[in-house]
Amino acid sequence: MSVSPIRALDPTSLPEMLENLFGFPPHKDQIEAIKALAINKKDLILIARTGWGKSMIFQSIPVLQGGICIMLMPLNLLEDEQVSILA
């Protein structure tokens, strides 16, 4: 499936665009992170807990700007956290 990137991002309509894209409203911190990446063109290192919504941020950038986004995840830490919750 080919997706045309949104060339002119409007910061005021970003929350609505994201809700339409994902089917649920983003929280304020997700919007700020996406603004930093997609509108302000800043680099971002995001460290957040499991379930915070990091995937929304990194999935939205290629849709909003076009191109590819590479997300590095330390899966062993995620696994350890999930096991500790179950134990």
Could you report the per-residue pLDDT of 36-48, keeping only the tens digit for each?
988 888 888 888 8
Residue 8 lies in a domain: no
Residue 30 lies in a domain: yes
Residue 2 lies in a domain: no
- 84 neighbors 53 (Cβ within 8 angstroms): no
- 25 neighbors 15 (Cβ within 8 angstroms): yes
The number of domains in the chain is: 1
Residue 36 lies in a domain: yes
Domain carrying residue 43: 14-86
Q: Against a cut of 0.85, is the pTM above it?
A: no
What amino acid is encoded at 49 in this protein?
R
Place of tokens 């915070």: 52
- 31 neighbors 15 (Cβ within 8 angstroms): yes
Residue 5 lies in a domain: no
Residue 53 lies in a domain: yes
- 40 neighbors 31 (Cβ within 8 angstroms): no
pLDDT tens digits, one per residue of 16-73: 999 998 999 999 999 999 999 888 888 888 888 878 998 898 889 888 888 887 877 7
Residue 9 lies in a domain: no
Residue 4 lies in a domain: no
DSSP 8-state symbol, 24: S
